[in-house]
Structure 1
């Protein structure tokens, strides 16, 4: 699998950037701070997501730290292609809140989505189960080339190699097995102590029971428990029977018939009274009144009914509504006549005021016209250069003009004062006519109404007296009808009072009957319960086969006497003895199973240990061969003629990997550990690269991309030159190298991408 294209949007320092990669060699050149390392970080999180393991390789703890400053989210698209030309596009986004999305497409079709599913699919495509099998081998961070060599003979290299070769997984299984063996041995030790303690207790219990066999003890225990059970069952029934018998009152049961008859008699009486009460309440609801008189309710109902009859004869043909309509009509006519009499002369006054207003308006217009003429004369006298008399047109000197102006001005002031007075009079008259107009309109309206009612205007006083007489007659009839209602209401009031007294008396009697009936019903219910209790009592005695409680008591006493024979038996201790025997047998079974499990786990431990050691040795031999092969391909000089990896024991018998070089010193071949061989920086980096390529060939992931970030740190020009040539000649890998060293551009072929702070 090779990398084809990378698109970054708001990722770290990159706002928007798109990179296309050569199938073989790619050189990314730029100064420090131009975002070269971010290209590798983008590739890593595109492949392996924003999980904790992948974030540790890009140097952040939170995925939101990868988003460009002040941007809400970041987006990455990585396109990869396999050897058969199948192209896969991986899209990942991350928001400032930490939410992420992931999609992988093949040929434009989505084959997986969601972070977990995409991560799983990537590992499947790359044929790895651990991202470190790529990142710890083919991704070389700045200053990291040479790290594996520096860890030679140390536990650090052992941990890395055993994780990459999956030996660590089997070592973890071995640790689990050893832990289980330790835990089971501790449990076995505890159970053995408990077993010993139980055996001492069992011996002590055996002595308590005089060395009797368990079978004999069991026989005694069964006899004892049988008697005790019989006694407990009888006593329980005896207790129930005694409670039932004590609840029965024979005398009360004998009164059942009398109480039942008495209850029926009272129930019948209750129903009659209740019906009477309902009738009275119905009568009360029908008796309604609006008015009554304190004087009338002092009389008897008979007197009131006689008075009512006398009035009824007088008003039998009268209709209140008809009388009220007539009364309203007559009252309206009476009021109109009175009002019209009060408005006599309004028409004449209205016309006089109207004439006065017309006269005042004429005077006002005449005065205002005079003022207007005087103002014209004053304008002429003030404005003209040649001063002439406005009347006779003779020439005037200035003194004469001034005298004439003063005269006209005094006249105009007097006219203005007169105008104010006239306007004041006009305002008063208008107010008077406004008030008089309302009366006049009302006067006209009433006049029309009187004509409508055929009331002669010239005989208003006679008509008024006639109407008032009719009103008084109607009011007398209405008063008589009101008196009829008050008498009728007073009769209803007196009847209601009698009914209320009767209702109160019947209600009291009903309450007394109800109380007594409840008491009788309570006794009848008690009798029912007693009869049921008597049936249950007889059933208990019949089941037990006893005629009386006395016989049952005697049987229980006999059983108590038999139980005294077992006073020294101590059944509670016997039960504890049996429990301890059961526990002892159970412990024996547990101990047997644990010993069997320990034996199986010991066999598994031996097998795992041998398997791990065999795997470790086989991987060491294979790694040493691949290391030698790759070193010889990369190293062009004769001072180091061979390399190998030895598997040794450390101080604490732990297994360690030791990297050894064979140096040609004055024609002699000397094998030395790399830590003691005095290697140069360039030699160390070539050895490290050879070891990484060896690991990659053994792990064989479906990802042939070697990523180097500033691999020439602290190297002189000759070493950098050699490394550039070496990488240029390396076959089988796509190389992506980030550097600020222009030497690589000269010595390496392939695609070159230049980054600067403006891009």
Structure 2
């Protein structure tokens, strides 16, 4: 896996930043607090979201911003992917507004789903990522300081051995579950055995045969008694029929007598109605007289000619008056509409005048504010023009510093590099001369010692002609020459040191000139733009004042039109009042005509009612005549029924019925007893049959349970074997991983820590770490010095990384190796060993290594250098890439980091 590009918007101290990341070693450096680590945190956050943060989402959003966007482009397994996360901070808490992962296989949306997909791709969750690939600032000793159990759990999770433990736990749970079910089934089988034994002891089949025999005897008795019962019921029915006939005639006689009484009452009631009809007819005659008088009075009042068909003529008059009322009403409606239109027009024009006056006032106010703003801006522009002149003077003064300089403006960097290169050559020459001088002085001292002794201390021969002493004078001359040359070289070095300091000053001065010229150009451009803006505002002021005057004129015209509209509305109101008076008169006449029409209708109704009463009275007389004839017929039928009764026959039928009822009651009790006995026998037989069926079911259940217990025994053994297999497999894999980790850790540690102190490192099955010295003494890693302990832990991290890469190569490429401030616990010597470790990891196939550091030795080892700077004014950071850094002078890098 390789990070290709990270893009940030309002992420912590980055307002808008984008950085391309390539394969190889990339070093991110800058001053403390400039935002170096934030770049790596952004990559980590892009992959895993809020789980990757030690803080809340609110704290990654730049202060004052409403939204943060983080985009990471990366390559995984040869395919390209892009993650975009957008955080909104407009409410009380920041929240994820957008989270999208695009790549082969489609698009994944949502923070949870994206994190799950990344975890699946890398086979690492957030915790595993920081324990393997991402050494965060201050956590370089995290694994070495952890307890063996924590270290064991961490490494087991990284190596995915935790899955085997999870599978073993599942197998154990399955085994325990199967054991519980097996025990339950075994208990159920024992219970079924006991129940079956109890039922077999009862002799159920013999009991069933005895009950069936007794049941047959009872059924025969019931059949005989039911036949006798049927004969008694027939005799009772014949007697009941005789009695029923007698009762029917008796009921008919009672009904005839009741009908006679009813006819008498209805005849009397009808006669009363005829008298009431006669009284109501008399009342109608009186009401007709009064109503006709009221009609004549209304006719005189209205001036209508009396005669036939008066009602139609009154209706025609009503319709004519209503037509006049409708015309007047329509006229009132039209006048009201016209008045409303005039009122609305007057109100609209008045409102329009108010708005125009308000608009004129607003425009005058805006013009005055713009005029004030123009005056203030002109004053500020004058001040900035003075600042522009000051910047020009400052630039000229700084350029004047180059008048007596060995180079001109724009040549300082090249001059500094030239001096630095020459100074390096001089220093190399000085070092060589000093070494040669020390060597010659040692040889002269040795020769002088031999001369003083007179003979060689080893062979005892004279030393006068020995080559060690024969050229002693030449060597002394050569020493004199070397001393002179060394003095001359040191003098030249001091001169070049002064020249280099001067070159650095010129380079700094050159940067300041460049910055000032850029600031002057920007300020000049801003001033030109501000002057154009001032001119636009002056034109705007003039337009606003003209528009204000026009609005006031329009407001005056609207007020005059509003006055005329109110006058027209008043005229309409007077016309409406006259029309309403006319409408009231017409309404009064229409009411009088309607009253006359009601009176005419009442007269017609009374006449019709009187005729109806006379007709009903005659009809009632005819009905009563018919009722009197029916009454005579009923009296004759009553006499006939009284003559048909035979009391002796009725008494004989009653005795026969009583005898049959007594026998039926007796036989019913006997049958009930037999039915109860039959039911009891049937119930008993059913119970026996049920128990026999239950016994057969128990035998079937017994066979099933035995088969189930045998299967569960087999399944329990299989689960136990599976649990043991996972335990053994995990132990074997852990041992293999321990051996591989120990080998890789020793290889990695030897690459960067070749000395005579330590011989090897041992990792036991519980991941306890032991360092062996050359003398065989064992040390706990915590007993190492601070730098050695940090280097040891980095070696452990790299070994774990290599172990994971070897273990899953080809299926899940490893993420970049990320080291955040790994030198914080290292001295200069250990930093060199760290550089060797990084080079070794790259040579071993780690495609991308990202290091945050300000150490110059690490910077020298980088393929790509990323510089992070923070503007002290805006508190915002920016990033810049430098590539192909091998061989760049350390002084250049030092100056860059400053």
Q: TM-score, normalised by structure 1?
A: 0.52
- Aligned pairs for 1:41-56 (under 5 A) are 41-48=41-48, 50=49, 55-56=50-51
Compared with structure 1, are the counterparts of its residues 294 and 81 closer, same or farther at alpha carbon in structure 2 (3 Å cutoff)? closer
Deviation at 1:34, TM superposition (A): 3.5
What corresponds to 2:607 in structure 1?
A: 491
Q: 1 CA distance for matches of 2:790 and 2:158?
A: 25
Q: 2 CA distance for matches of 1:569 and 1:324?
A: 100
What corresponds to 2:719 in structure 1?
A: 601
Q: 2 CA distance for matches of 1:692 and 1:494?
A: 124
What corresponds to 1:167 in structure 2?
A: 161
- Aligned pairs for 1:92-491 (under 5 A) are 92-96=85-89, 98-105=95-102, 111-115=106-110, 118-119=114-115, 122=118, 126=121, 128=123, 130=125, 133-151=128-146, 154-193=148-187, 196=190, 205=198, 211-213=201-203, 215-216=205-206, 294=287, 296=289, 315=307, 321=313, 488=604, 490-491=606-607
What corresponds to 2:827 in structure 1?
A: 716
What corresponds to 1:702 in structure 2?
A: 813
Query: Is the 1:623–1:698 contact (alpha carbons within 8 Å) kept by the matching residues of 2?
Result: no
Compared with structure 1, are the counterparts of its residues 689 and 638 closer, same or farther at alpha carbon in structure 2 (3 Å cutoff)? farther
Compared with structure 1, are the counterparts of its residues 555 and 663 closer, same or farther at alpha carbon in structure 2 (3 Å cutoff)? same
Q: 2 CA distance for matches of 1:147 and 1:229?
A: 96
2:781 maps to 1:674: yes
Q: 1 CA distance for matches of 2:54 and 2:168?
A: 33
Compared with structure 1, are the counterparts of its residues 689 and 619 closer, same or farther at alpha carbon in structure 2 (3 Å cutoff)? closer
Kindly provide the CA deviation profile for residues 572-622 of structure 1, in whole angstroms up to 9, marking residues without a partner as x: 897499479466666545433332321221222222222222222222222
Deviation at 1:175, TM superposition (A): 0.9
Kindly provide the CA deviation profile for residues 473-515 of structure 1, in whole angstroms up to 9, marking residues without a partner as x: xxxxxxx9999988655423423556788999999xxxxxxxx
Deviation at 1:140, TM superposition (A): 0.7
Secondary structure in 1 matching 2:132: coil
Query: Is the 1:89–1:105 contact (alpha carbons within 8 Å) kept by the matching residues of 2?
Result: yes
Q: 2 CA distance for matches of 1:67 and 1:225?
A: 95
Q: 1:71 aligns with which of 48, 58, 65?
A: 65
What corresponds to 1:727 in structure 2?
A: 838
Q: 1 CA distance for matches of 2:187 and 2:599?
A: 117
Compared with structure 1, are the counterparts of its residues 490 and 213 closer, same or farther at alpha carbon in structure 2 (3 Å cutoff)? closer
Deviation at 1:76, TM superposition (A): 1.3
Deviation at 1:195, TM superposition (A): 5.2
What corresponds to 1:753 in structure 2?
A: 867
What corresponds to 1:685 in structure 2?
A: 793
Query: Is the 2:171–2:723 contact (alpha carbons within 8 Å) kept by the matching residues of 1?
Result: yes
Compared with structure 1, are the counterparts of its residues 603 and 555 closer, same or farther at alpha carbon in structure 2 (3 Å cutoff)? farther
Deviation at 1:723, TM superposition (A): 2.4
Secondary structure in 2 matching 1:657: coil
Deviation at 1:119, TM superposition (A): 4.8
What corresponds to 1:643 in structure 2?
A: 761
Secondary structure in 2 matching 1:596: helix
Compared with structure 1, are the counterparts of its residues 707 and 638 closer, same or farther at alpha carbon in structure 2 (3 Å cutoff)? same
Q: 1 CA distance for matches of 2:122 and 2:728?
A: 27
What corresponds to 2:81 in structure 1?
A: 88
Q: 2 CA distance for matches of 1:626 and 1:158?
A: 17
Compared with structure 1, are the counterparts of its residues 69 and 493 closer, same or farther at alpha carbon in structure 2 (3 Å cutoff)? farther
Compared with structure 1, are the counterparts of its residues 559 and 707 closer, same or farther at alpha carbon in structure 2 (3 Å cutoff)? same
Deviation at 1:75, TM superposition (A): 1.2
Deviates more, 1:551-560 or 1:607-616: 551-560
Kindly provide the CA deviation profile for residues 122-171 of structure 1, in whole angstroms up to 9, marking residues without a partner as x: 467x553655554421101122223223347x111211222122221111
Q: 1 CA distance for matches of 2:220 and 2:823?
A: 100
Deviation at 1:646, TM superposition (A): 2.4
Deviation at 1:214, TM superposition (A): 5.2
Query: Is the 2:291–2:599 contact (alpha carbons within 8 Å) kept by the matching residues of 1?
Result: no
Kindly provide the CA deviation profile for residues 509-547 of structure 1, in whole angstroms up to 9, marking residues without a partner as x: xxxxxxxxxxxxxxxxxxxxxxxxxxxxxxxxxxxxxxx
What corresponds to 2:769 in structure 1?
A: 659
Q: 1 CA distance for matches of 2:220 and 2:38?
A: 91
Query: Is the 2:136–2:821 contact (alpha carbons within 8 Å) kept by the matching residues of 1?
Result: yes
Deviates more, 1:176-185 or 1:86-95: 86-95
Q: 1 CA distance for matches of 2:705 and 2:70?
A: 64
Question: When you count helix as a share of all residues, which structure comes out higher?
Answer: 2
* Gap runs ≥5 in structure 1: 233-237, 267-290, 300-313, 329-479, 508-547, 648-655
Deviates more, 1:481-490 or 1:621-630: 481-490
Q: 1 CA distance for matches of 2:704 and 2:21?
A: 72
Compared with structure 1, are the counterparts of its residues 149 and 581 closer, same or farther at alpha carbon in structure 2 (3 Å cutoff)? same
Query: Is the 1:89–1:104 contact (alpha carbons within 8 Å) kept by the matching residues of 2?
Result: yes
Q: 2 CA distance for matches of 1:697 and 1:487?
A: 120
Compared with structure 1, are the counterparts of its residues 322 and 222 closer, same or farther at alpha carbon in structure 2 (3 Å cutoff)? closer
Q: 2 CA distance for matches of 1:753 and 1:221?
A: 107
Query: Is the 2:819–2:850 contact (alpha carbons within 8 Å) kept by the matching residues of 1?
Result: yes
Compared with structure 1, are the counterparts of its residues 560 and 636 closer, same or farther at alpha carbon in structure 2 (3 Å cutoff)? same
Q: 2:731 aligns with which of 589, 613, 619?
A: 613
Query: Is the 2:169–2:723 contact (alpha carbons within 8 Å) kept by the matching residues of 1?
Result: no
Secondary structure in 2 matching 1:136: helix
Deviation at 1:570, TM superposition (A): 10
Compared with structure 1, are the counterparts of its residues 566 and 491 closer, same or farther at alpha carbon in structure 2 (3 Å cutoff)? closer
Secondary structure in 2 matching 1:600: helix
Deviation at 1:178, TM superposition (A): 1.2
Q: 2 CA distance for matches of 1:718 and 1:564?
A: 108
Secondary structure in 2 matching 1:702: coil
Compared with structure 1, are the counterparts of its residues 185 and 720 closer, same or farther at alpha carbon in structure 2 (3 Å cutoff)? same
CA RMSD of superposed structures (Å): 5.4
Q: 1:632 aligns with which of 735, 739, 750?
A: 750
* Gap runs ≥5 in structure 2: 223-228, 260-283, 293-305, 321-595, 624-663, 878-898
Residue correspondences, number: 484
Q: 1 CA distance for matches of 2:218 and 2:315?
A: 106
Query: Is the 1:631–1:686 contact (alpha carbons within 8 Å) kept by the matching residues of 2?
Result: no
Q: Which has the larger radius of gyration?
A: 1
Deviation at 1:727, TM superposition (A): 2.9
2:54 maps to 1:59: yes
Q: 1 CA distance for matches of 2:315 and 2:806?
A: 127
Compared with structure 1, are the counterparts of its residues 319 and 685 closer, same or farther at alpha carbon in structure 2 (3 Å cutoff)? closer
Deviation at 1:74, TM superposition (A): 2.0
Query: Is the 1:29–1:754 contact (alpha carbons within 8 Å) kept by the matching residues of 2?
Result: yes
Deviation at 1:746, TM superposition (A): 5.4
What corresponds to 1:3 in structure 2?
A: 3
Query: Is the 1:6–1:18 contact (alpha carbons within 8 Å) kept by the matching residues of 2?
Result: yes
Query: Is the 2:218–2:677 contact (alpha carbons within 8 Å) kept by the matching residues of 1?
Result: no
Deviates more, 1:221-230 or 1:734-743: 221-230
What corresponds to 2:741 in structure 1?
A: 623
